[in-house]
Amino acid sequence: MNQTVNKRQGFATRVGAIAATVGSAVGLGNIWRFPYVAGENGGGAFIIVYIVCVLLLGIPVVMSEFIIGRSTHKTMKGALQQLSPHSKVYRFSYVCIIGAIITCSFYSVVCGWVIDYLYHAATGSLLGHSAQEYSELFSAEVGDPWRCCLWTLLFLVINFFVMLHGVQKGVERVANVMMPLLFIMLIIFCVNSLLLPGSSDGVRFLLQPDFSKLTWKGIVEAMGQAFMSLTLGIAGLVTYSSYFKDNTPLVKDAATIATLDTMVAILAGIVIFPAVFAFGLQPESGPKLIFETLPVIFQQLPGGSIWATMFFILLFFASLTSTISLSEIPIAAFVEDFKISRRRATVLCGVIVIALALLCALSFNVLSDYKLWKMNIFDIFNYVSANVFMLMGGLFTAVYVGWFLNKKIITDQFTNFGTAGNRSQGYIIFCLRFVAPVAVLLIFLYYTGLLNVLFP
């Protein structure tokens, strides 16, 4: 049995490990993208397809990262060096580090917007505006370089303050508090939304199966959502699973994490769309939903300021747990692969991410004229994160574990070194070998627009 875990930090409890790993998956995409995409692609029909995609794509790729991380208790680079000592495959770990830094950089800008709106909600200045004024307020937020940079910087300072305290006292402790609170707040919001008059229309929009709206593009959207919602492909789960204990039931935890991540997305839809329809508004996706549509709803609710404050606290929790996991990828690599202290690694990672994040924040104002392929810096980072780094990483881990990793290592991880049953290995490996590569290729072709060219 690999005892390397005893020589490095790890999660103190299984509950803490699950909370931290779920926190790494749950983010803004669960709240502002999943519900709308589900509603536009057949509601319950899309959700059924999504669940199938989680089973055939999400959980198997999660398991591929778990196997790499837990079998070695090392970062992606160290793991690949140990598992394939006679090859240069470890160089792929640099792609994962770059992908994590780029993702954390642009994502932190959005998290800065969340803090700004939390400030407005808590001080009572968010409510009392027209729909047009909320649109202007958001435009003013992203167009003000000082304000946008200030909130982005504040968010990252909080993020890296947590990271300075390490895995148990930082990552795990924060996840143990924030994730239960996030679920409690979601349930409270769900009850409130369902009690609104006219909320049933929103529930039908989200949950009623309408297979006539489900096209092949909707199916690929479900694949992409299942893949990206779990933040696969940039070694986040390799890093977190390297902190797991050797008796952690990997398959059960992978299924638990995927289930909780899906629950957050569906609960978010139940929070948002009954309220949207109850007040006669149009469902939107992306920033418009969070920063323009929902404030209109909050001001029509009794105690609107309280609801608005609670909602943006919820978003803050989801944002922070995601960036913590993204930050841990390069920090762990700096500590273990480049042999520097955790404090210096955190500072180094912080400086790099802050510099890139500020460039992303300024791309909406001062640097708005600097574009490549009609995209600003923020858009480029967002695009390559989802369509290059995550997909490339997911394809790599699926193929590597499915086709090249020693079968004994895989069996040891599925059975916890012979101490547990092994009923799902064949199914997981089949999905990694055949299902995941095809799915990732389809997702890539779809999001790059090549699928429309090949199949107009």
Domain range annotation of the chain:
4-454
Q: Three-state DSSP class for 78? A: helix
Angstrom CA distances, 52 to 226, 261, 402, stand at 9, 14, 20
What was the pLDDT predicted at 33?
Answer: 84
**Architecture in CATH of 4-454:** Up-down Bundle (1.20)
Each residue's pLDDT, cut to its tens digit, for the chain (456 residues) gives: 444 333 567 899 999 999 999 999 998 888 878 988 888 888 999 999 999 999 999 999 999 999 999 999 999 999 999 999 999 999 999 999 999 999 999 999 999 999 999 999 999 999 988 888 998 989 998 999 999 999 999 999 999 999 999 999 999 999 999 999 999 999 999 999 999 988 999 999 889 899 998 988 899 999 999 998 998 999 999 999 999 999 999 999 999 999 999 999 999 999 988 988 888 887 777 788 889 888 988 988 889 999 999 999 999 999 999 999 999 999 999 999 989 999 999 999 999 999 999 999 999 999 999 998 899 999 999 999 999 999 999 999 999 999 999 999 999 999 999 888 888 999 999 999 999 999 999 999 988 887 777 666
What was the pLDDT predicted at 2?
Answer: 43
Q: What is the 3-state secondary structure (H, E, C) of 273-326?
A: HHHHHHCCCCCCCCHHHHHHHHHHHHCCCCCHHHHHHHHHHHHHHHHHHHHHHH
Q: 173-194 and 199-207 are packed helices; what angle lies between their axes, rounded to 10 degrees?
A: 120
Burial class (CB in 10 A: 0-12, 13-18, 19+), 147: middle
Burial class (CB in 10 A: 0-12, 13-18, 19+), 100: buried
Question: pTM score, two decimals?
Answer: 0.94
What was the pLDDT predicted at 6?
Answer: 38
Dihedral (CA of 208, 447, 156, 396) sign: positive
Instruction: Report the percent of the chain where pLDDT is more than 90.
Output: 75
Q: How far apart are CA 376 and CA 432, in angstroms?
A: 35
What was the pLDDT predicted at 8?
Answer: 67
What was the pLDDT predicted at 456?
Answer: 64
Residues 6+ apart with CB under 8 A from 197: 278
What was the pLDDT predicted at 5?
Answer: 38
Q: What average pLDDT does the chain have?
A: 92
